[in-house]
Amino acid sequence: MNKQQRTVFYLSDRTGITAETLGHSLLTQFDGIAWEVVSVPFLDDIEKARTVSIRINEAAEQDDCRPLVFSTLLNPEVLEVIKQSNCRIFDFFETFIRSIEEELHLPFARMAGRSHGLQHHLSYFKRIAAINYVLAHDDGISPKHYAEADIILIGISRTGKTPTCLYLGLQYGIAAANYPLTPDDMHRHALPQVLENVKSKLFGLTLSAAQLHSIRSERRPNSQYASLEQCEKEIQWQESLFRKCSVPYLDTTRISIEEISAIILTRCGLRRQLYG
């Protein structure tokens, strides 16, 4: 079945993160459409708006249907230019701000960039520090500083420890370290000594043998490391170790990095450093 081709524009005075995140979340609820995505951040003057308006009209003609436009534009003159285009516009501020103003009995500031700026400077710098910590404590580096970690992810090779740590640091300001369990650890059937004193911070990641086999095969095809038999053996061992040592763990086989991170935060009671 051929999918319908349509174009979606994400427009913003600043980074466009809010418009794109909210718009994408809404569009994932609709199947059967192949979206051509156009993101336009820093759309902050009339001339830029006119150029984007031309692109919108061209997309409408090419698709033979009007594009969707998700907007967090605050400049009313810029927004008016976009509204004259052949599109269906969804303005997040227009949708929500008026009712919030009525409830709070306050006018909104009409200032771009506040949600991703430095107004919440303490939270922002906590996140920067967390990212630096993640980078400095990846793959078992500097275990002597594990006491400073908010959480330490453990698991065998290629179970998603590093990307999850990076996401936790970047999005939530969580100081996350990760430690790889190796075939040498399998013979001991015990946690590595370096983790014994930080056991309360440990969280394990696991996945199906088939998925691990697929991931490892991309890195080292036709190797013993990537063989399905080796993957099954290592996963059985690590899950047995997690249960024996009472380490909470999560099967990430069908879960995104975003979901993994949210589950870890919830299960471990960690505070998100989002806005201060």
For residues 15 and 41, what is the distance between their CA atoms, to the nearest angstrom? Answer: 5
For residues 5 and 33, what is the distance between their CA atoms, to the nearest angstrom? Answer: 6
- Look at residues 263, 243, 237 and name the one whose alpha carbon lies nearest to residue 252: 263
Is 156 marked as binding a ligand?
yes
For residues 151 and 198, what is the distance between their CA atoms, to the nearest angstrom? Answer: 9
Is 252 marked as binding a ligand?
no
Is 21 marked as binding a ligand?
no
**Order of all β-strands in the sheet with 33-40:** 33-40, 4-11, 68-71, 88-91
Q: Are 161 and 178 in contact (CB under 8 A)?
A: yes
- Look at residues 9, 54, 2, 53 and name the one whose alpha carbon lies nearest to residue 27: 9
Is 16 marked as binding a ligand?
no
Partners of 38 in the β-ladder: 9
Three-state secondary structure call for residue 166: helix
- Look at residues 115, 52, 116 and name the one whose alpha carbon lies nearest to residue 80: 52
Three-state secondary structure call for residue 220: coil
Partners of 92 in the β-ladder: none
Partners of 208 in the β-ladder: none
Is 123 marked as binding a ligand?
no
Is 188 marked as binding a ligand?
no
Nearby residues of 252 by Cβ (< 8 Å), 6 or more positions away: 159, 160, 205, 206, 207, 260
Q: Where are the beta strands (DSSP E) in 131-224?
A: 151-155, 176-180, 202-206
Is 162 marked as binding a ligand?
yes
Is 33 marked as binding a ligand?
no
**Residues in binding site for ADP:** 155-162
**Residues in binding site:** 155-162
